[in-house]
Amino acid sequence: MEAITSSQSIPGPKSALGWRMNLFHFFRRPLLYQRWLHQTFGNVVAMRQGDKPSHVFAFGADYNRQILTNPDFFEVSTSLLNLPKDTVMGEMFYNNLLLMRGEKHKQHRRLMMPAFHQQQIERYSTDMVNLTRQLAAEWRNKEEIELNHEMKKLTQRIAVKTLFGVYDEARLERMGDQIARLTKSLLLASLAPVDIPLTPYHRALHLARELHADICAIIAEKQRTPETDVLSTLIHAHDEDGSRLTEAELIGHSFTLFVAGHETTANALTWSLFLLSQHPETLYQLTEELEGALGGDVTTLAKVMKLPVLEGVVKESLRLLPPAGIGTRRTAAPCALGTYDIPENTNVFFSQMITHRIPDLYREPDRFRPERWQTIKPTPYEFLPFSAGMHMCIGWNFAMQEMKLVLAVLLQHYRFSVVPHAKITPNIQMRPVHGMPVRLLPPSSAIERSPVRGTIRQMIDLN
């Protein structure tokens, strides 16, 4: 057994300007900086404040397992946002599965699970297909689109419809817009959470009140007439002892599900279509597979879910450009990480991005090779786009189904070609910060790889 070593001996970068400067480099170029840390300092790396490590990066499957299976030591932290709990906005934000711990988390997850059972998710497939067809029809007279913006529009519509079962178009767009605006304003609002007119907090509170009223009205409708959407399932879910989710909890969970679900899936779809546009031979194999198996009919859900090239494309995109590329926890007590002692209140990062690029796990890790998924079967700590352990994404199979159906429908109507020399640079949330301009071409077109600029060129091997 190896001896435990003090956290003071964890290797890491020095900076004359302190750990904040190192974090700045990390946020600016998340993958490249993490890769440099990993290659230069090894599997455990610290940025320090005085003697203490303020942020520790732990790279690789063993550390992922250790962090994600010990929630008593490595807790999800709420310290990023600081919102008063006794307002409608606080209620919406803190009634959130990711921020719950222990028994409470278990109970809520148990009550929410029926909404995400395979059979239940299959019911959402018609909405997923129809809304994608509708968007494809809206593009009919366009030659060029900003793909990330369009994918966000689509996943937002799918989220509102499958979560709330809202069938009124105008109400659907309004709710999606309200939630998206509220999410965007949360960080700014939490910097000075005082309710003074014209401040970001005041505006966010106003938005939260409007949304709260809308969700309450929908809950009242669904209490009278149960439907098959996620919110209906949550309203009618109960434990063996009859306990149910309260109205505040229902509102909080609806908000979280929307926020957690739509942007991640939009980014994942954007990168899948980008990678396909850069790999015409894979695109060809995929469209052949879709045409052969479905003959133009994507409503045969069972078939779509089992297509090997489609499965490989989705998993390989999630491996190379995971929408959640890094996860974070905070130590709740002094504890060991590998052979190091870690003090209480240390921020600990685990990295999907680096784990997914370890050459021993994935040969030619920087290349897009969907066919690898026909022969490899990584463990949950080696491939973790949806994280692992108790907080593993509750919507992972929802997202997988959505990605497959959206890709199958869109590729029936169009080929996507990135505008030549576009600057493609993902940020830490894996959103392309300068957008993703693409040309829409008919499905009969032959696609050639377009030259692109930006940090994406250092993140994947396009040769």
Nearer CB in complex with ligand HEM: 107/450: 107
Q: Which 8-state DSSP code applies to residue 431? A: -
Q: Write out the H or E segment, with its range, that includes residue 223.
A: helix 200-224
The stretches of 330-448 forming alpha helices (DSSP H) are 352-355, 396-413
Nearer CB in complex with ligand HEM: 109/330: 109
Residue from 60, 90, 312, 395 touching ligand HEM (CB under 6 A): that is 395
Distance CA 112, CA 427 (A): 31
Residue from 95, 265, 270, 272 touching ligand HEM (CB under 6 A): that is 265
Nearer CB in complex with ligand HEM: 162/417: 162
State how far the alpha carbon of 273 is from the alpha carbons of 122, 190, 221, 266, 280, in Å.
Answer: 23, 35, 39, 11, 11
Nearer CB in complex with ligand HEM: 261/370: 261
Q: Write out the H or E segment, with its range, that includes residue 91.
A: helix 88-94
Smallest gap from Cβ 59 to ligand HEM, in A, equals 16
| Single-letter amino acid, residue 237 | A
Tell me phi and psi for residue 48, to 5 degrees. -120, 155
State how far the alpha carbon of 332 is from the alpha carbons of 5, 40, 49, 164, 348, in Å.
Answer: 19, 29, 18, 36, 11
Nearer CB in complex with ligand HEM: 38/329: 329
Q: Which stretch binds ligand HEM (CB under 6 A): 252-260, 303-311, 336-344, 447-455?
A: 252-260
324 binds ligand HEM (CB under 6 A): yes
Nearer CB in complex with ligand HEM: 136/268: 268
Q: Which residues pair with 329 in a beta bridge?
A: 348
Nearer CB in complex with ligand HEM: 29/315: 315
| Single-letter amino acid, residue 105 | H
Q: Write out the H or E segment, with its range, that includes residue 179.
A: helix 169-191
Nearer CB in complex with ligand HEM: 227/341: 227
Distance CA 22, CA 155 (A): 34
398 binds ligand HEM (CB under 6 A): yes
3-state secondary structure of 390: helix
Smallest gap from Cβ 399 to ligand HEM, in A, equals 4
Q: Which 8-state DSSP code applies to residue 17? A: T
Q: Which stretch binds ligand HEM (CB under 6 A): 4-12, 181-189, 211-219, 260-268?
A: 260-268
Q: Write out the H or E segment, with its range, that includes residue 254.
A: helix 247-278
Smallest gap from Cβ 315 to ligand HEM, in A, equals 11
Nearer CB in complex with ligand HEM: 193/432: 432
Whether the CB-CB separation of 78 and 32 falls below 8 Å is answered with: no
260 binds ligand HEM (CB under 6 A): yes
Q: Which stretch binds ligand HEM (CB under 6 A): 38-46, 194-202, 381-389, 434-442?
A: 381-389
113 binds ligand HEM (CB under 6 A): no
Residue from 45, 393, 447, 452 touching ligand HEM (CB under 6 A): that is 393
Smallest gap from Cβ 256 to ligand HEM, in A, equals 5
385 binds ligand HEM (CB under 6 A): yes
Interface pattern 65-104 for ligand HEM (x via CB under 6 A): -----------x--------------------xx------
DSSP 95-159: S-GGG--HHHHHHHHHHHGGGGSHHHHHHTHHHHHHHHHHHHHHTTT-SEEEHHHHHHHHHHHHH
| Single-letter amino acid, residue 197 | P
Q: Which stretch binds ligand HEM (CB under 6 A): 166-174, 264-272, 370-378, 442-450?
A: 264-272
Smallest gap from Cβ 420 to ligand HEM, in A, equals 28
Distance CA 30, CA 359 (A): 19
411 binds ligand HEM (CB under 6 A): no
176 binds ligand HEM (CB under 6 A): no
Tell me phi and psi for residue 74, to 5 degrees. -110, 95
Chain residues in the site for ligand HEM (CB under 6 A): 76, 97-98, 109, 256-257, 260-261, 264-265, 268, 323-324, 327, 385-387, 391, 393-395, 398-399
